[in-house]
Chains A and B, each alone.
Chain A
Amino acid sequence: MIGDGIASANQRTHRFVEERTPVGFFTDPTLCIGCKACEVACKEWNGLPEDGFVFSGTSYDNTGALGASTWRHVLFLEQDQSRGPQLAGPMSGGEGEDPFRWIFLSDVCKHCEHAGCLEACPTGAIVRTEVGSVLVQDDVCNGCGYCVVSCPFGVVDRRPQPLPGAGGAFKCTFCYDRQASGLPPACAKVCPTESIQFGPLDEITARAARRVEDVRALGYADASLYDARGTSVGATRAVFLVLGSPEAYGLPADPVVPTVYLRDAWTSSLLTSLVALAGVIAAFALL
């Protein structure tokens, strides 16, 4: 899967916006070396401010989470279990193996099929673009924050004071500005191992499915695809290979778009009003 290099969609110029081709990301931790080049390239290109010089003590992750000023976030998971066929460390003098693994995964906005943020946005600031990505237009956003609570992945956030743009909601733009100019997203462009793969959505999903099969065959029995299919999100345009449980990566097993409750809410309020109306009518009838 690795090695297309300068011929890959990560590097080539394209016309996806003009052609209205849906695009996607596939992020593959079996190829990620945790270099954080994606985080840096994202911040550089998008002019994002630094958001704290805090030593977390949590592995090599001093970023913590996606947020208004962090649109790519490399997770560092240290787990006491094997990484596929890897043998890590001493065999403890024949006392059996001593499993350990360190996994890196570059998290990003999922660009959902049913995007909670988009559906919750009252101003129309959040739109779906020609390539299918979900974009917050920061010049339209009024900072109400409905999108923040509506994202099942905790991606979008309002930027705190005193950072530039404070109050507004921000998240990954899928480098819409770059894509409109035919350039690949900054994070994919700089990924040295093609752990992040960018391209037309159908190619990306096919690749991702094939990759999961391949790594399972290589001995990564706990590999699975995380794409939120079969949930109320519908599907995500950023898909991930995960080893083990998705919750360990902060990815909910069953993400729920809050707007699914809207139908119930509308139904119940309709019923309530009908009952109320019936009561009123009955009250008049009884008079």
Chain B
Amino acid sequence: MPGLGTSFGRGGATTAQQDLANADCILIEGSSMAEAHPVGFRWVLKAKERGATIIHVDPRFSRTSALADLWVPIRAGADLVFLGGLVRHVLENRLFFREYVLHYTNASCLVRDDFRDTEDLDGLFSGWDPERRTYETESWRYEGDDLARPLRDPTLEHPRCVFQLLRRHFTRYTPEMVEKLAGVPPDLFGRVADAFTSASGREKTAAICYALGWTQHSKGVQIIRTAAILQLLLGNVGRPGGGILALRGHASIQGSTDIPTLFDILPGYLPMPKAGTGEDDLAGYVRNHRKVAGQWSALPAYVTSLLKAWYGPHATPESDSGYRFLPQVSRDHSHFSFITEMADGHVDGFFVMGQNPAVGAQHSRLERKALARLRWLVVRDMVEIETASFWYDSPEIETGELTTANVATEVFLFPAAGHAEKEGTFTNTQRLLQWREQAVDPPGDARSEAWFIHQLAKRLRSRAAAAGDPLDEPLRALDWWYPEDEHGEPHIEAVLAEINGWRSDPAEAAAGLVHSRDAEDRPHHGPQVKGFGDLRDDGSTACGCWIYSGVLGPDGVNRARQREPSGAYAHGWGFAWPADRRILYNRASAAPDGTPWSDRKKLVWWDDTERRWTGDDVPDFVAEKPPDYVPPPDATGLAAQRGDAPFLLHEDGLGWLYVPEGLKDGPLPTHYEPLESVADNALYGRATNPAVRWFVRDDNRFAPPKDPRFPYVLTTYRLTEHHTAGGMSRFLSHLAELQPELFVEISPELAGELGVASTDWVTVSTLRGIVEARALVSRRMRPLQVDGRIVHQVAMPFHWGSAGPNRGDVVNDLIPLSGEPNVTIHEGKALLCSVTAGRRPRGRDVTEALDRLVRETPPHPEAPSTEPRPSERPGGHGHHGKTT
């Protein structure tokens, strides 16, 4: 989430679900929280019981809308205009929280004089390189180029101060523009604006919740950025009942970015070394990524301790502290990149764990055909999901595109243990690590992922040792020390201890030491460290993920396992990174002088007698740094930040209304139309995000704007009754009977035009795929007035596939591959489709119909004709600390 990362410093929700109960207004947009996060939604209802206004902005009247005070139907893909309208409303009506904005945000910072806004360049920022389709971002930086000590104008009058740039940038995001592009009438927009702004200030706070309805867009990061700007302007970050809650898609998705499954970041949001950028040694890496001021000043300690955790005794001066063993990223290896390479026959093998890309990944048709080009495929799951069975039951078998006899892929299907059959932690949406006990043994040969990876690593390492190939050196250098139980399962608490970090010198067993002996029963390490403040850059400490440090400290208490909540923020239940801080940036809950903004909204404040910060949460600040602290000129690290600078991860300690570095598509959010759109971009000359990646291929085509062949807006979503690609729900009768079939939600008006009623079959087509579904006609879908004409939107859940007892077409077949510039996420929430009455064609007629559609549709005018060369491709997850 670079949206949150670049705005506030950390790529995680700023608040906790329980804290929503303290909000005076909650805006839920890009999420159907009641459906996808039903347990957390109780806190929204609690806020409502206390008198808060609940607003739901969504194309669909969902189960969330049903409980909201205000439902605002919106055209899918127009969220940024809507939010930008709110930003303009706050700026033009002087509704911002002036003291907060002045002290805690970069509103007063001056930007370089060669910066040009999209207002100047008709939808482009300065630095655009049309050949490479990327930005040179130099001109976006602060005047004087000093991120730690920017030049500031406290009057906010300087024409190049962020505040004035922001005003100018959003000046045309008027209520009329919101109506024109988003389909929200001005009176309804006004209701939202009034409810949200009147619930902000010293005495009140408002919160925003979002999920994949914001991220899965060609400008997803910038939608989230707009929300961040709104919250910073209204002074709603770091305060009780405020903030932005990023609702994560499923269990431990937050965890899987903290300790990433991504190609371009290392645990704790350390960047992956990049080839050709002067990072061939650790000194170069540190030079590129260490910051003078703020938390990232300690980057050498974090990365050295990570290398020590991975390479142990091999992390020596000879191996550059182990840095030599790290691979370097040479190009985009994100999911879509390797899938397209796989489809072209360039990938041999593939491990799939906890995923079902044959159904759940975008452009699933292309994914399934890619799987058929592999030599081998390992799938670990609880049931035989489509990713394992594609070779005999995929829709491509029916169409004749694949024939079982000709699929050479050797599929290894391993039975996996379910979450109640193994122990470990989940890191939930609010950065909370919660330990889960093993309730029962897994059946038969089913084993945990930890077991599988551990056993695989042991076998690979023994082969590497025997072969002696220099290429295998990083594998041989791994410190694979994990003690295991009688079934060969590694002790998960030993892994957690490594993640927490310890002193490297082996110690004999002592009080508090957790699993300090290795598989051969030799002392392996010393006492666990207390937190990331103890980490050193000299190899004397090891730490698998610095932000998790403190979860299993020297007292040996596994804080993730704790279940004794106390106080307003339930400290004592689990452990929230970092350092058990439940509300991030909570220094901002007090005024610059350290006193609470109001008694009603107090959280953390300066105790002048004790000379330290105190309150209801662990202060997200240097505990002894007084509010009036001014750093001496030569200070570094946290000491280089002022006493009124709450955003510790940013060098200037400020919340960023404007992002001077770290984003690839602009320092300010700009509305672009979805890659497939029913409307022209009324704001700028260009329709789509210029830096987006299109994955240009014949089998990945985009409809041009307002294409009459595809007149409707399609958005996708999830049902409470099912779980993502269905592996954990479709195969269970008690869940499947609740939503047994794929359907498409359409308005009575569109149903009338199509001549269909609920339960009738309809066919939904795009340039990528053709699926059939039952019609579900309801007033919960509404036609909207967009740019002077009626726009029909349809919505489809995406849980079905070709395997199991309850089958259905794969909705993700409809969605093109595309890459948002910062995180390479696709656009699954706003695209174009056609809907016709009746069932879809069968067999070869499907491919023929698709081919005909592709032949007849002209290319999208803004899509490149060829892909940029691989080394020049954008993509990835941005700058360190700015990601998830």
- Structural contact, B49 and A2, CB atoms closer than 8 A: yes
CA distance A3 to B570 in the complex (A): 14
- Once the chains bind, are A3 and B70 in contact (CB under 8 Å)? no
A47-55, A128-136, A137-145, A180-188: which one contacts chain B? Answer: A47-55
Q: Which residues of A contact B71 (CB under 8 A)?
A: 86-89
Cα of A83 to Cα of B70 in the assembled complex, Å = 11
In the complex, how many angstroms separate the beta carbon of B439 from the nearest chain A beta carbon?
Answer: 14
Within the complex, the shortest CB–CB distance from A131 to chain B, in Å, comes to: 26
Q: Are B69 and A85 in contact (CB under 8 A)?
A: yes
Stretch of A90-98, A253-261, A276-284 contacting B (4+ beta carbons < 8 Å)? A90-98
A78 contacts B738, C-beta separation under 8 Å: no
Q: Are A39 and B738 in contact (CB under 8 A)?
A: yes
The listed residue (A40, A60, A89, A194) touching B42 by CB distance below 8 A is A194
Q: Are A55 and B759 in contact (CB under 8 A)?
A: yes
Given A36-B721, A40-B734, A90-B782: A53 and B35 interface contact (C-beta under 8 Å) = no
In the complex, residue of chain B having the shortest beta-carbon distance to the beta carbon of A193: B42
B658 sits at the interface (CB 8 A): no
CB–CB A51/B63 < 8 A: no
Q: Which residue of chain A has its CB nearest to the CB of B66?
A: A102
Q: Is A103 touching B66 in the complex (CB atoms < 8 A)?
A: yes
Work out how many contacts link A and B, with CB atoms closer than 8 A. Answer: 136
A3-B49, A34-B720 known; A58 and B38 CB under 8 Å? Answer: no
For residue A57, CB closer than 8 A to chain B, the reply is yes
Considering the complex, give the chain A residue whose CB is closest to the CB of B55. Answer: A87
| Distance between Cα atoms of A213 and B49 in the complex (Å) | 14
Tell me, rounded to whole Å, the shortest Cβ–Cβ distance linking A150 to chain B: 28
Measured between beta carbons, the chain B residues less than 8 angstroms from A63 are 737-738
- A57 engages B774 (CB within 8 Å): yes
Docked complex Cα distance between A2 and B733 (Å): 31
Within 8 A of B (CB), among A65-122: 78, 80, 83, 85-94, 100-104
Residues of chain B from 28 to 65 with CB closer than 8 A to chain A in the complex = 34-35, 38-39, 41-42, 45-46, 49, 61, 63-65
Residue-wise interface mask of A (26-58) relative to B, using a CB-CB cutoff of 8 A (1 in contact, 0 not): 000001011111011001100001111111111
Residues of chain A with a CB closer than 8 A to B64's CB:
33
With the chains together, A94 CA to B179 CA distance in Å? 14
Q: Which A-chain residue is minimally distant from B43 (CB atoms)? A: A3
In contact, B734 and A44 (Cβ under 8 angstroms): yes
Q: Looking at the complex, which one of B46, B739, B759 makes contact with A3 (CB distance below 8 Å)? A: B46
Which residues on the B side are within 8 Å of A35 (C-beta)?
34-35, 38, 63, 720
Over the window 57-83 of chain B, the binary record of Cβ atoms lying under 8 Å from chain A Cβ atoms (1 yes, 0 no) is: 000010111111111010000000000
- B833 at interface by CB-CB < 8 Å: no
Indicate if A59 sits at the interface (CB-CB under 8 A).
yes
Chain B interface residue bracket vs A: 35 or more
Cα-based distance from A66 to B88 in the complex (angstroms)? 52
B726 to chain A, nearest CB (A): 14
B70 partner residues in chain A, CB cutoff 8 A: 86-88
Report A64 CB to chain B, min CB distance, Å: 10
Contact of A78 among B49, B743, B779, B784 (CB under 8 A): B779
B39 and A1 contacting across the interface, CB-CB below 8 Å: no
Contacts of B252 in A (CB 8 A): none
A21 at the interface (CB under 8 A from B): no
Using CB atoms, name the residue of chain A closest to B740.
A53
Q: Give B779's nearest chain A residue, CB to CB.
A: A100
Which residues from A are CB-within-8-Å of B733? 49-50, 53
Q: Is the CB of A91 within 8 A of B187?
A: yes
CA distance A242 to B38 in the complex (A): 22
Q: In whole angstroms, what is the CA distance A35 to B191 when docked?
A: 29
List, in ascending order, chain B residues with CB within 8 A of A39's CB: 734, 738
> With contacts A57-B774, A90-B184, A192-B39 known, is A102 near B49, CB below 8 A?
no
Q: Could you list 10 further interchain pairs (A-B, Cβ under 8 angstroms) beyond the known A40-B738, A50-B733, A80-B779? A: A35-B63, A36-B721, A39-B738, A44-B734, A55-B740, A58-B758, A87-B191, A90-B782, A102-B780, A192-B41
B interface with A by C-beta (< 8 Å): 21, 34-35, 38-39, 41-42, 45-46, 49, 61, 63-71, 73, 183-185, 187-188, 191, 719-721, 733-741, 743, 757-759, 774-780, 782, 784-785, 805-806
> Which A residues lie at the B interface, using CB under 8 A?
1-3, 31, 33-37, 39-40, 43-44, 49-60, 62-63, 78, 80, 83, 85-94, 100-104, 192-194
Instruction: List, sorted by A's number, 7 A–B pairs whose CB atoms are closer than 8 Å.
Output: A36-B721, A36-B738, A57-B758, A60-B739, A83-B66, A90-B184, A91-B188
For the complex of A and B, the 7 pairs showing the least CB-CB separation, nearest first, are A57-B758, A57-B759, A50-B733, A53-B740, A55-B741, A102-B66, A33-B34
